[in-house]
A and B are shown apart, each in its own frame.
Chain A
Amino acid sequence: MRDTVDPDFASFVDARQGRWLRTAYLVYGDLERAERALLRAFTQLSLHWVRVDDPDAFVQRLLYLPALKPWNRAKAFPDEDDQVKHALGELTPAQRAVFVLLHVEELTEFEVADLLGMSQTAVHGHGLSAFGLFRTALGAGDWRDAK
């Protein structure tokens, strides 16, 4: 491992860090935790940089899976007045992760299932319930009216 940063690694990080920080912020509901998780994922990637076949999947797993762990479930968006943040904070960590990955990262349910180690059925259920709760929290009515 070289002492100075690998140019390819730097290009990879520069191209993705902004988007993944925003996604992680929405999933964790805390900017500090999101930054810490993203930095840890990139650090791990730097250790295996030359050997990793799919760096995107490698980083995303390290970034989102810790949010689902039982010991890592701090309240998301605490004391926020923003309605959207408040609505996201009402979701469970699994619902929030699935909801964000489906709507921000625009992954399919199969890709989300593979990334988070869930079944596609579970992802579908989390996505549906998260959308309904999100709508209700924003005062948009019953989710079954959505099209």
Chain B
Amino acid sequence: MRREDVPPLLFQVTDDLPEPDLADVAWAGGLRVRRRRRRTVLISVVLVLVALLVTSILIEMGQSDGGGKADALPLDHQPTGYIAPAGQIAGIDYWLAPPAGSERFLDRLDTVLGDRLALPDKVNRLADHKLDKVVAVVLVKNGDGYQPLLLGGDASWSQADVSLLPVGGASPLSPGAISPDGRTVAFPQPGQLVTVNASTAKVDDYSLPGGDFRSVSWLQDAQRVLVSAPGVAYRVVVGEGRNGEQPVVRINGAKDPEAITAPYRIDSGAVTRYLDTGRWTEDSMLPLPVQSWVGQTFSSVGTVARLFVAGKLPQVPAMVSQPQGVAAISTYRSVPSRLLMLDDPLTGSGDVRDPGCCAVLGWYDEQNLLLQVRGWVLAWDLDSGNVRRVTELAVGELALGPGLSG
């Protein structure tokens, strides 16, 4: 058999096959397939839309039924060791501080102040051992006067060559004595302001027209100081002033000298902001049931803090003393304000925190507020609500500077 013989044999096999007519049938089949595909696509689109609709309805129902579910989301972002607030006072969340006597057992925030801050055995002369940044200032009684001891970032102490007089029968150390750049310390004196530049050991005094000055507060530019006495206050240029600027300008005073602070101050039921004109403008109202404010106001980025003594508070019943707490008021509407109440209603021991025992000392960083609570410096973490001990105080008055956080 040759290859040419194969096709006739194969054609012979197919001779009796019927003649098909597939054109119409195939076209109709194509139409059916196309319609079925369209129908499938349409049904799929409808199903997807229905699924999306049902999902959105379920989400909407979940949000409306849950009430607080959306608010609960930030819980995922809560810091480690978060403590829930104990309740609300005047619409502001408050936390309860650890009871008096328990400070020693709190977690510690390690700083250059050490575990216990006492007067040093070894002190350098500031002229011999200048400091780039002042971390803390304490006063040493020397006869009728006081001498300032400055603590540097390297944990060394330097004594400034200046003798300070008491003001109003008390030591002339204001909690806001250290400038925002940590280089200069300011002291209120009778009829004058004294500054000590720690980086040059230079002492300057600025005469002021009368007044029993008791409080100083630095402006953020570290070039100007607000000095205040009861009912009178001055703004003093101690660094570089503007052209033609008066070195000493009288500004609005207050009955409480410690109320005069910048850039914010809290008193009289409002948070007010300092203006270059020497006036304060209202930033927000403060509906707290405050009987009196204690110490100075300290401002961080977005938060202003000051200690207050309240009358009777149903949320924090005081057994012996009056309720007092720290108000950390946010200057941003999106960030909530917070309170730390110092009186523990369960405290029945002799460790009572009387009004005036405590005050705000400043900010460790943007979230940790430093408080002087009887013989301790404590740090309140605003994010987590935790309170840690910073140091035990074996000194009298203390002023802290920005170099504490390194």
Instruction: Give the interface SS of chain B, mostly helix, strand, loop or mixed.
Output: helix
Query: Judging by beta carbons under 8 Å apart, are B20 and A26 in contact?
Result: no
Query: Judging by beta carbons under 8 Å apart, are B19 and A104 in contact?
Result: no
Name the A residues within 8 Å of B12 (CB-CB).
84
Name the A residues within 8 Å of B20 (CB-CB).
17-18, 21, 35, 38
Q: Is A138 an interface residue (CB 8 A)?
A: yes
Identify which of A3, A46, A140 gathers the most chain B CB atoms within 10 Å of its CB.
A46
- Which of B23-31, B126-134, B188-196, B294-302 forms part of the interface with chain A? B23-31
Name the A residues within 8 Å of B33 (CB-CB).
43, 47
Q: Is B77 an interface residue (CB 8 A)?
A: no
Q: Quick one: which of B3, B11, B25 contacts A146, CB cutoff 8 A?
A: B3
Query: Judging by beta carbons under 8 Å apart, are B13 and A85 in contact?
Result: yes
Query: Judging by beta carbons under 8 Å apart, are B17 and A42 in contact?
Result: no
A70-115 interface with B by 8 A CB criterion: 82, 84-85, 88, 100, 103-104, 106
Q: Quick one: which of B10, B29, B30 contacts A26, CB cutoff 8 A?
A: B10
Q: Is A56 an interface residue (CB 8 A)?
A: no
Query: Judging by beta carbons under 8 Å apart, are A39 and B26 in contact?
Result: yes
Identify which of B2, B23, B25, B27 gathers the most chain A CB atoms within 10 Å of its CB.
B27
Query: Judging by beta carbons under 8 Å apart, are B26 and A46 in contact?
Result: yes
In the complex, per-residue mask of B346-373: 1 if CB is within 8 Å of any chain A CB, else 0: 0000000000000000000000000000
Q: Is A45 an interface residue (CB 8 A)?
A: yes
Q: Quick one: which of B2, B23, B34 contacts A9, CB cutoff 8 A?
A: B23
Number of A-B contacts defined by CB within 8 Å: 91
In the complex with contacts A38-B20, A103-B6, A147-B2, A25-B14 CB distance below 8 A: yes
State how many angstroms separate the Cβ of B166 from the closest Cβ of chain A: 101
Query: Judging by beta carbons under 8 Å apart, are B29 and A43 in contact?
Result: yes
B1-56 interface with A by 8 A CB criterion: 1-3, 6-7, 9-14, 17, 19-31, 33-34
Query: Judging by beta carbons under 8 Å apart, are A26 and B26 in contact?
Result: no
Report how far A18 CA is from B20 CA in the complex, Å. Answer: 6
Query: Judging by beta carbons under 8 Å apart, are B22 and A39 in contact?
Result: yes
Q: Quick one: which of B11, B13, B19, B29 contacts A39, CB cutoff 8 A?
A: B29
State how many angstroms separate the Cβ of B4 from the closest Cβ of chain A: 9
Report how far A9 CA is from B31 CA in the complex, Å. Answer: 13
Q: Is A131 an interface residue (CB 8 A)?
A: yes
In the complex, per-residue mask of B107-119: 1 if CB is within 8 Å of any chain A CB, else 0: 0000000000000
Q: Which residue of A lies closest to B30 (CB)?
A: A46
State how many angstroms separate the Cβ of B238 from the closest Cβ of chain A: 86
In the complex, per-residue mask of A1-21: 1 if CB is within 8 Å of any chain B CB, else 0: 101111001100110011001
Name the A residues within 8 Å of B30 (CB-CB).
1, 43-47, 49
Residues of A at the B interface (CB closer than 8 Å) are 1, 3-6, 9-10, 13-14, 17-18, 21-22, 25-26, 31, 35, 38-39, 42-47, 49, 82, 84-85, 88, 100, 103-104, 106, 131, 134-135, 138, 140-141, 146-147
The 24 listed contacts between A and B (C-beta, < 8 Å) are A3-B31, A6-B27, A10-B23, A10-B24, A10-B27, A13-B22, A13-B23, A13-B26, A14-B23, A17-B21, A17-B23, A18-B20, A22-B11, A22-B17, A39-B22, A42-B26, A46-B27, A47-B30, A84-B9, A84-B13, A106-B7, A135-B1, A141-B1, A146-B3
Residues of B at the A interface (CB closer than 8 Å) are 1-3, 6-7, 9-14, 17, 19-31, 33-34
